[in-house]
Amino acid sequence: MGMFEKIFENKEIRTASAHCDGPCGVYDPASARISAEAVLSMTKKILDLTPPSDGDAKAMAAYLNTAARYIAIKEEQAQVAKDEILILWTDYFKPVHLESNPNLHEVFWKAAKLCSACKVEVSLEHANELMESIEEIHNIFWGTKGRDVAYYTAS
Amino acid sequence: MKDIPLAGLLQKFMHLLDLRVRYRIEGESMQPVLRDGDEVLVDEKARVGIGDVVIARHPFKESVEMAKRITAIDANGKFFLVGDNSDESTDSRTFGPVSLECIKGKVVARLK
């Protein structure tokens, strides 16, 4: 330690704020992951449904109700996942992050398109691919913060 | 965008004589010029102009001092302050231009 540094130690240090008042500094790909997990879960549930036998009106009504609810949740959560991904892409990530992650735009574009595909289709393949994309985003995101945050899923 | 030079002996000496005040930057709104945790030396007597990075008191929050860049001075002599990393900055785009009394000093050097 040099002479100046030693004397500096006793000098007052004030704090200058250089951030945003709003909560816009708080980002976490976890919110997209939770919605994507719901999409995957609903996709599985829809595919597992067995229609009732002909003529059972009550069972048919229950079946349609269940299917409609699964579909509605899948639609809604796919859109939420897409919104969360777009927020990360356009608000959090900066040109400087592209230098260390040249494939950033490709990853996000693919993830957003997979959200749309999962919304429109009942595709287990695309729902799993969406989860893989979000894991990739998780790794890029925490990498930019220099933090080693383990990826996990709730289900 | 003007960079902040690394403090030389002169600036450090001025700091020892209390002619420069030391600030630690918190947050990313001045990226890439200043990063979270950077320390800077501030000249409270310096004249400030467009392009300078300054320490300014938040017009509505007495206790908050901010590091921002002056991007314009309006007809009434008020300063328009903007963070270099404008996506992650609350500045004059939100709280409007600030008067000279809000400007605490000019950031003249970086310590690390």
- Please give the tally of structural domains in chain B: 1
The gap from C-alpha A153 to its chain's centroid, in whole angstroms, comes to 11
Contact residues, chain A, for B68 at CB < 8 Å: 18
Rounded CA-CA distance A116/B55 in Å is 46
Rounded CA-CA distance B68/B98 in Å is 12
Which contiguous run of DSSP H or E holds residue A16?
Answer: strand A13-17
Domain extent at residue B70: 9-110
Question: Is pLDDT of A11 > 90?
Answer: no
| pTM of structure | 0.61
Handedness of CA B97, B103, B109, B112 (dihedral sign): negative
Question: Is pLDDT of A9 > 80?
Answer: no
Calculate mean pLDDT across residues A17-23: 71
Q: Which of A87, A140, A141, A26 is nearest to B28 (CA)?
A: A26
Cβ-nearest to B27 among A7, A17, A96: A17
Map out the domains of chain A as residue ranges: 29-144
**Residue B40 within any structural domain of the chain:** yes
Thinking of the domain A29-144, which architecture would CATH place it in? Up-down Bundle (1.20)
Cβ-nearest to A20 among B21, B22, B29: B29
Say whether B68 and A18 touch across the interface (CB within 8 A).
yes
**Residue B52 within any structural domain of the chain:** yes
Question: Is pLDDT of B30 > 60?
Answer: yes
Whether the predicted interface score ipTM is above 0.90? no
**Residue B30 within any structural domain of the chain:** yes
Beta strands in chain B, from DSSP E residues, in sequence order = 21-26, 39-43, 53-57, 65-73, 79-82, 103-110
- pLDDT, tens digit, 9 for 90 and up, residues B33-85: 999 899 999 999 999 999 999 999 999 888 899 999 999 999 999 999 999 98
Rounded CA-CA distance A73/A67 in Å is 10
Residue A84: the pLDDT is 96
**Residue B44 within any structural domain of the chain:** yes
**Residue B20 within any structural domain of the chain:** yes
Q: What is the domain-level CATH number for residue B98?
A: 2.10.109.10
